[in-house]
Amino acid sequence: MKFLRILLSTFMLSAAAFAQPHDGRWWQSTLEDQRNEYLNGYMDCAVYDGGRRDLPSVGTVEIAQAIQAFYDSNPKMANASVVTVLKQVSKQKGMHRKPLPGGEVWTNKHAYYDGEYWPISDMERTGFVQGLRECYASLPSEPRFSKGDAFYVGKITAWYSNPKRSHRLHTSIANVLALYADRKQESEPSKE
């Protein structure tokens, strides 16, 4: 039993060592399009699955500019996660606006984040998946995703690219990602 605990602890530490933190260093070293899609993915989950109403209601580009300004003004905060900075930015004046009248109304849970939205480049797709995964990891009862970003990007892209599924372009990215979530181990029947 002790050996199993040590083995499990080693595995968890190894997995954590390979996980890339989404902090100021990541932000500064990542291209703008990937950062914007990270925010789109995070906001998709946080708003539609997490019920967050405190997050900015302005466009992702504007949010990204505010996050960039925060990191530029606070170089000692480079180890602060993007999510932590997003919380700070959310408190800034001008980050919350009422929707303009006559805008599009979405009846599905994840609005326009579906197969028609699915970004074109793998870099942008990776950002979107990173944001979704980061958010889902923070929610207590949401699905878990232990494989690498490239695995999920490939699976989602293949799912939307399948000609038999062209009618499913309006399925949300989050719902397609959920198809590849970690499965809970079924307990084996006792052998008596």
pLDDT at 17 over 70: no
160 membership: H or E segment, kind and range: helix 149-161
pLDDT tens across 64-121, in order?
Answer: 999 999 999 999 999 999 999 999 999 998 898 877 777 777 677 888 899 999 998 9
Q: Please answer whether residues 128 and 43 qualify as being in contact, where contact means their C-beta atoms are separated by less than 8 angstroms.
A: no
> For tokens 């990776």, what's the residue?
126
Task: Tell me the pLDDT band of 2, cut-offs 50, 70 and 90.
Answer: very low
pLDDT at 136 over 60: yes
User: 142: buried, middle or exposed (CB in 10 Å: 19+, 13-18, 0-12)?
Assistant: middle
Query: Of the candidates 126, 138, 140, 139, which has an alpha carbon nearest to the alpha carbon of residue 173?
Result: 126
Give the per-residue pLDDT at 184.
Answer: 66
Q: Return all residues near 22 (Cβ < 8 A) that are at least 6 apart.
A: 38, 81, 82, 83, 130, 134
The structural domains of the chain, with segments of one domain joined by +, span: 21-97+108-178
Query: Of the candidates 27, 47, 14, which has an alpha carbon nearest to the alpha carbon of residue 132?
Result: 47
**How does the average pLDDT of the chain come out, rounded?**
84
Distances (CA, A) of 47 to 23, 69, 135, 165, 170: 21, 23, 10, 27, 19
Give the per-residue pLDDT at 168.
Answer: 81
Task: Tell me the pLDDT band of 12, cut-offs 50, 70 and 90.
Answer: very low
Global pTM? Answer: 0.82
pLDDT tens across 151-170, in order?
Answer: 999 999 999 998 876 678 88
Query: Which whole number is the average pLDDT over 130-146?
Result: 92
